[in-house]
Amino acid sequence: MFDGRISSAPHVHRARAVLDARGMLRNCIKVFEGYRARLGSTFTVHFGGLVPALVTADPVVIKHVLRSNQDNYEKSFIQAERMVEFQGAGVVNIHGEAWKRQRKLLAQGFKPNYLARLLPMHQDVFEELMHNFDGEARRGPVNIRQQMVQFTLRLTGKALYGRSMPTAELERIGAIIHEIQNFVHRQIVQPWMIPWYRINGQSAKYQKLRREGDAIALRHIRARLSEGLSKNDFLRILTETPYHDTGLPMDEPMVMLESLQLLVAGNVTSTNALAWIFYLLARHPKYILEIRDEVASVIGANAMDYRNLHQLEGTVRVIDEALRLYPPFWMIDRIALNDDEVNGIHIPARAMVLPYIYGTHRNPAHWQNVEAFDPGRFESRGPRERHPFAYIPFGGGPRTCLGTNMAVMQMLMIVAAFVRKYDFALVTNEPIDIDPSMMLRPKGVVSMKFRAVA
């Protein structure tokens, strides 16, 4: 591990970083925002006083790391060791030729024409979810984040496995993902605790949880294969597409691993994105009315499909702005393979570099009125005037989010259906704070009241 100083970037004193370690565990963004206000958009800090990192909210540096010189950067030990321990080695956390091979094969399932065929297959699950939700909403206030866990797991589960997963299993998978992510987060911000976790049985406890999640995924894969695959099953891509080099498809353990990685990647992100979208809409109800009008004029009484969903331009802007203010993936992690130089900053080999998405989206050099919820900033003139890496909720460069198209499709579908059917409001008017662990979640329960309008 690199232990030198990253030159020419302002530095957080090591003693300060040790003192801030507990604060980072509670709310890393709050600590980083303090550093950013004091030191500017790029600074260096030792995580827990031990692991040195260059944190940057500067789109110029981020573009260099994620795109222009991306061959020099790999996902860091956070993904390559900590996540592999619990997720296995798949597209999310491998490198080089092995990653290219895996990504090329999986990408087939995320192309717009494939998703357009997939969407009608979601319809039965979606209707059942809306029906269950309606029952909940009639009984009283609902925890919208918890509801969104069910929506995203079930929709992504259906997309991946071609079958509807039972609620109890989904809740269990959701809980396993949540617990493992919290544990990985603890290891990142308090790295000195890792050997202790191995001794006191914590690591073994979370490995057991991982095996439980694996077993659920495997049951669904085997059940689907025995039921027979349909033409549009994602599982068909995984089980039948041959690799260009061997001519063979993935074996069963790899199918399980990749499908579970996709389920996790899709769930933890979209769930939080949707919870924030509903929170922001409830605080700015004029956009509920605007979206309702837009859905009525674009979709009307027709069924939602891939094409009409993407014509909801105002709704897309609301989603974009929610992802600017609350990007679920609030930072990306990389490690430099060789010495590098960008913007006058020397980055030594083995230094950790963290494109800090939350800070980038609130960098006043690239955004005006950064704290305001203003979807209008995404109107057509905006993006052309902005640096392309000033807005990166889905990352950037070759490792940009593989599931972007699916995520946007699901978010549009859910927001359009809810706004068409309900008026909604927060139970309390208190602003909800952020809770950043591996993902940027709302702190506590986002409790909301829903009243049917149609």
Binding residues for ligand HEM, per CB under 6 A?
Answer: 75, 91-92, 103, 156, 262, 265-266, 269-270, 273, 328-329, 332, 393-395, 399, 401-403, 406-407
- Which one, 56 or 203, has the nearer CB to ligand HEM? 56
CA-based nearest residue to 20, from 197, 192, 194, 190: 190
Query: 52 to each of 46, 304, 350, 431, how far by Cα in Å?
Result: 4, 48, 10, 34
Q: How far is the CB of 262 from ligand HEM (least distance, A)?
A: 4
Spatial distance between the Cα atoms of 51 and 193, rounded to a whole number of angstroms: 13
CB of 192 to ligand HEM, least distance (A): 25
Nearest distance from C-beta of residue 439 to ligand HEM, angstroms = 9
Q: How far is the CB of 135 from ligand HEM (least distance, A)?
A: 26
The tokens for 147 are: 């509801």
**CA nearest neighbour of 44 among 327, 346, 343:** 346
Rounded distance between C-alpha atoms, residue 420 and residue 293, angstroms: 9
Token output for 117: 């065929």
* Distance (Å) of CA 158 to CA 11, 77, 178, 238, 450: 47, 32, 20, 14, 26
- Which CB sits closer to ligand HEM, 75 or 421? 75
Residues in contact with 203: Cβ distance below 8 Å, sequence separation at least 6, in sequence order:
85, 197
Least CB distance from residue 271 to ligand HEM, whole Å? 9
Measured from the CB atom, is 103 or 186 closer to ligand HEM? 103
Considering beta carbons, is residue 56 or 156 the nearer one to ligand HEM?
Answer: 156
Q: What minimum distance in Å lies between the beta carbon of 330 and ligand HEM? A: 9
- Dist. CA 347–CA 345, nearest whole Å: 6
In terms of CB distance, is 137 or 352 closer to ligand HEM? 352
Residue 47 vs 394, nearer CB to ligand HEM: 394
**Nearest-angstrom CA–CA distance, 229 and 233:** 6
Phi, psi (degrees; rounded to nearest 5) at 401: -50, 125
Residue nearest to ligand HEM (CB): 403
Output the smallest distance, CB 405 to ligand HEM, in A.
9
Task: Decide whether 11 or 224 has the Cβ nearer to ligand HEM.
Answer: 224
85 burial type by CB count under 10 A (0-12 exposed, 13-18 middle, 19+ buried)? middle
Whole-number minimum distance, CB 446 to ligand HEM, in Å? 16
Handedness of CA 179, 180, 184, 187 (dihedral sign): positive
Q: How far apart are the first and last CA of the chain?
A: 59
The helices-and-strands tally (H runs, E runs) of the chain is 18, 12
**Which two structure tokens, joined as six digits, stand for 97?**
């030729």
Between 64 and 399, name the residue whose CB sits nearer to ligand HEM.
Answer: 399
Minimum CB separation of residue 429 from ligand HEM in Å reads 26
The helix/strand/coil state of 390 is coil
Whether 281 contacts 414, CB under 8 Å? no
Give the Cα separation of 60 and 69 in Å (integer). 12
Q: Which is nearer to ligand HEM, 101 or 172 (CB)?
A: 101
Q: How far is the CB of 140 from ligand HEM (least distance, A)?
A: 28
Of how many residues is the chain composed? 454
Closest CA to 66 of 289, 378, 398, 410: 398
C-beta closer to ligand HEM: residue 11 or 361: 361
